[in-house]
Chain A
Amino acid sequence: MDSEQAGGWRAGIRAGVPLGLAAGALAVTFGAYATLAGWPPAATILMSALVFSGSAQFAFITAVSGGAGLVTGIGAGALMNLRFVPMAAAAARSLHGGRFRRAVEGQAVVDGSWVLAQRPDGTTDREMMMGATLVQWPAWVLGTAVGALLVPSADLLYRFGLDVVFPSFFLLLLLEALRSRPDHRWVALVAAGLASAAVLIVPVGVALLLSAAASLIVLRRRPNSAMG
């Protein structure tokens, strides 16, 4: 826990830079994807500014441009983001103010920031989470604009290896999380197994939600026998 004290706004903004770069790169692909699917660039940029969630945005456009109806598209996007309910709930007691302010502060929950801000004792470093998100939002919107207006080919992004940015970032965060809590390696392994199997049958967002169910295995252990 001692090494985790150095958090806060500055640390969050600093830690948010690689996240912002990754988000920006992914946003470029999203913007290009939306334009190619026939979306006006203004609408795509507006979507990124308001929804601010890559997985949900990709899911919605994929569903709708694939011929699914509006409700199916919204359902697909919502399912992608259902994971934010437990994540934001976990951060709840670390946020400040009354109900309304907490609800607004909860908007800072996005995958990378939330993970960065987790302390080993289960509390959340509020400033760290918000700082990291403050970097990612403009990067996400700007990247979307670049992608939607310039429409770089998917081939170009592939050739520059930009598709490796997000997975490597998540991998590094995972290694970091496991370093502070080695007992969680089983959770990670079960989650990886669940995701591997689920992705064969269900959409990616649902597979992610299922992988989170691996957390429930900690209930089978006694808290004190955990460190091993």
Chain B
Amino acid sequence: MNTVIVVGIVALALINFAFKASGPALLGDREPSERAQDVVASLSPALLAGLVVVEIAGPHWSEVDWTRIVGLVVAAVAYRRGLPDLICIALAVVVTAGLRLLVP
């Protein structure tokens, strides 16, 4: 087990480094084409939407939890009202925890 742990840690650290280093080292400051820039600019909403879904669903949709979804709605509403991010997140946590306390 210990060899597995050490090799795993080192391998993942190196792979991670290489993934993040490849583009910056190879591309330099070459200006990407307009279409490429368009794709890049839309990468973040795409990944974020994916992250939200995956966080709600969990593997095979096994982790859906209505209290968490209510918390997320609260965060979104608070954001729309112009509250700072940290407050929105705190409200989501309080509402989610509160629901879990009240509705066992």
Contacts and interface: CB of A to CB of B under 8 A. Distances in A.
Interface of A: 17-18, 21-22, 38-40, 43, 46-47, 50-53, 56-57, 60, 64, 70, 73-74, 77-78, 81-93, 95, 99-100, 102-107, 109, 111, 114-115, 118, 120-122, 158-178, 181, 184-185, 187-192, 194-196, 199-200, 203-204, 207-208, 210-219, 223, 226
A168 B12 contact: no
Given A43-B5, A56-B12, A211-B53, A160 B93 contact: yes
A170 B52 contact: yes
B53 A223 contact: no
A163 B92 CA distance: 10
A15 to B, nearest CB: 8
A35 B38 CA distance: 43
Contact of A78 (B15, B23, B25, B59): B15
B1 interface: yes
Given A181-B45, A189-B49, A192-B52, A90 B40 contact: yes
B19 A164 contact: no
Given A164-B68, A187-B45, A170 B22 contact: no
B51 to A, nearest CB: 4
B93 A99 contact: no
B20 A109 contact: yes
Given A89-B23, A103-B21, A172-B79, A114 B93 contact: no
6 contacts: A43-B9, A53-B12, A73-B8, A86-B43, A89-B24, A171-B72
Nearest to B38: A218
Contacts of A159: 97, 100-101
Contacts of A160: 93, 97
A172 B89 contact: yes
A84 B48 CA distance: 14
Interface in B44-73: 44-61, 65, 67-68, 71-72
Nearest 4 A-B pairs (CB), nearest first?
A211-B50, A89-B23, A161-B97, A103-B21
